Homo-oligomer: A and B are copies of this chain.
């Protein structure tokens, strides 16, 4: 990472997992900062992190500009962020990591909106497959986005990773070009592939939702696979 000016870091599964900090991740952050490497957090798990909430607020501006009244399938903890958004007579569906909020009734309501108004957009805050919680792997937004896409024969618009705009906005903020930056994450598609698609180095850590098959698949390959965030920093800075 000697030649890198900036590093984008996923939070859940890289810094912490299941509510606990991952060993040495705070040390790794301190090393990066001590070397003057720019750091930005990029997360799709917008329950606990300020970075995630800021990202959501961008999504809200995006809704207001287009006059969209969303049916919200998002995590209940995120709902206050949507205050001031009209949700009566919805003409759009927004899908995040709603977890237990993915009830059959809420999914049916979403489907009916999309079927009844062919122009109603399906907006995905993320397409992640799953995340790791205390009790094991849990379905993230992606599979439910896929369910609605299948049910209604539509394609979702993506506002979160791996959308190129998310990575490019962070780089712009850091005044860094893609060839001077790396993304470190535990999600092969959302983090690594998304970053590679816009020219960043994609580094996969073996923490969080990582599974050994992430290294053997034919569809995607990380530029570097390391034990954890600290190792990524140590390897890059040796």
Q: Which of B104, B118, B139 contacts A139 (CB 8 A)?
A: B104
Total chain A interface residues with beta-carbon distance under 8 A: 32
Q: What chain B residues lie within 8 Å of A23 (beta carbons)? A: none
Question: Is there an interface contact between A143 and B147, defined as CB atoms closer than 8 Å?
Answer: yes
CB under 8 Å from chain B, chain A span 141-169: 142-144, 146-153
Q: A146-B150, A147-B147, A151-B130 are in contact. Are A139 and B100 (CB under 8 A)?
A: no
Of the listed stretches A14-22, A25-33, A106-114, A226-234, name the one at the interface; the rest are far from the partner chain. Answer: A106-114
Most buried by B among A100, A142, A144, A211: A144
Q: Is the CB of B150 within 8 A of A137?
A: no
* A interface: dominant SS: helix
In the bound assembly, the distance between CA atoms of A100 and B105 in angstroms comes to 8
- Other-chain residue from B99, B136, B142, B147 in contact with A112 (beta carbon distance below 8 A): B136
Docked-complex contact B108 and A138, CB < 8 angstroms: yes
Q: Is the CB of A142 within 8 A of B136?
A: no
Given B99, B107, B143, B213, which contacts A148 in the complex, CB threshold below 8 Å?
B143
Contact with B along A114-126 (1 / 0, CB 8 A): 0100100000000
Q: Which residues of chain B come closer than 8 Å to A151, judged between CB atoms?
A: 129-130, 139, 142-143
In the complex, whether A210 has a CB less than 8 A from a CB of chain B is no
Chain B residue nearest to A144 in the complex (CB)? B147
A82 at the interface (CB under 8 A from B): no
Separation of A147 and B142 alpha carbons in the complex (Å): 8
Residue A41 lies at the interface, judged by CB distance under 8 Å to chain B: no
Known: A102-B104, A104-B99. A137 touches B149 (CB 8 A): no
A70-118 contacts to B (CB < 8 Å): 99-105, 107-108, 111-112, 115, 118
Chain B neighbourhood of A107, CB < 8 A: 102, 139, 143
* Chain A positions near chain B (C-beta within 8 angstroms): 99-105, 107-108, 111-112, 115, 118, 129-130, 136-139, 142-144, 146-153, 211, 213
* Given A100-B104, A104-B139, A115-B211, 14 other A-B residues pairs in contact with their CB atoms under 8 A: A99-B104, A102-B104, A103-B103, A107-B143, A108-B138, A108-B139, A112-B136, A115-B130, A129-B151, A142-B150, A142-B151, A143-B147, A143-B148, A147-B147
17 A-B contact pairs sorted by A residue (CB < 8 Å): A103-B103, A108-B136, A111-B130, A111-B137, A111-B139, A111-B143, A115-B130, A115-B137, A129-B151, A129-B152, A129-B153, A139-B151, A142-B151, A143-B146, A146-B147, A146-B150, A147-B147
